[in-house]
Amino acid sequence: MGICNGRTVIITGAGGGLGRAYALAFAAEGANVLVNDIRADAAAAVVDEIVTQGGRAIANSDDITRLDSAGRIVDAALSAFGEVHVLVNNAGVLADRMFVSLTEEDWDKVMQVHLRGHFCLANILARRWRDAAKAGKHVDARIINTSSGAGLQGSVGQANYAAAKGGIASLTLVQAAELGRYGITANALAPAARTAMTQAAMPDVVKAPEDDSFDLWSADNVAPLVVWLGSSLSAEVTGQIIESQGGRISLGDGWRTGETLDKGARWQVTEIGEAMSQLLGRAQPAQKVWGS
């Protein structure tokens, strides 16, 4: 009996990289898996792997960025498996340029896949789960989003991607606060692994070791955390941003009110410089932007 036995998970962008690793790991722990990817052949190949190993899975290539097509994804999972318990929003895309070189198309493409893609399926499923909870049914549901170190700290040459991933982190906090009453948890990952995107962006950094040493960048390293978050065992964990790479798991320490000066009256323009100097002198420096 696996820790996800009988649970059904929808995973987007699961035709390769992290999504494929998640799909295989969920199936190994007894979950029914809907493998979604715009590349139908890639999704089908992952399903074949799962079925060959004795698991249950179906392939789907519907668009995650529209509510109507996202609805078809949910309907396919319900038809095949009866219910959905877990959503892993994993699909992503890059359009990297320095900020001054970004086009509207670069910006909109990344926002559509990451932010709209995180909204549509989660919105449909959250409504379903909320209605079930209000009808008196037991709900033990999970939303697992994908942020990034770029979204938490910024990344040179990735203003659009960093903004989208930062938005996903904030979205996760709101989802956790609003949906907990219905038996739904929401957490976000900031995974670091070898995928098609990272191989394109930094191939020398993420390449596999040539010997038998630990593969720090293997997507398989992240999968156990995702499967645990999708299980009933994680019911008390919500609203967390979790970084994962190799053998490391870290909790993100998010925005919070820091060093403060309160004059008790309106500040004069001539006083602001000294006040800011005091605050900055006492504050803990933020982590550097990636690439700076």
pLDDT surpassing 70 at residue 184: yes
Q: What is the mean pLDDT of residues 200-228?
A: 79
Q: pLDDT tens, 82-101?
A: 999 999 999 999 999 999 99
CATH class of 8-251: alpha beta
Domain boundaries along the sequence of the chain? 8-251
- How far apart CA 281 and CA 277 sit, in angstroms, is 6
Gyration radius of the chain's alpha carbons: 21
Average pLDDT, the chain: 94
pLDDT surpassing 90 at residue 1: no
Considering only CA atoms, which of 49, 52, 3 is closest in space to residue 26? Answer: 3
Bridge partners of residue 11, in order along the sequence: 35, 88
Q: Residue 66, exposed/middle/buried by CB under 10 A (0-12, 13-18, 19+)?
A: middle
Q: What is the pLDDT of residue 268?
A: 97
Q: What is the pLDDT of residue 42?
A: 98
- How far apart CA 78 and CA 212 sit, in angstroms, is 42
Q: What is the pLDDT of residue 94?
A: 94
Q: What is the mean pLDDT of residues 45-59?
A: 98
Residues 6+ apart with CB under 8 A from 179: 126, 129, 130, 143, 185, 186
Residues carrying an active site annotation: 148, 161, 165
Q: What is the pLDDT of residue 127?
A: 98
Q: pLDDT tens, 240-256?
A: 999 998 889 999 988 88
- How far apart CA 47 and CA 217 sit, in angstroms, is 24
- How far apart CA 222 and CA 212 sit, in angstroms, is 19
What tokens does 46 get?
Answer: 């992952």
Q: Identify the band that residue 292 occupies on the pLDDT scale cut at 50, 70 and 90.
A: confident
Distance of CA 193 to the CA centre of its chain: 13
State whether the Cα torsion 70-72-76-79 is positive or negative. positive
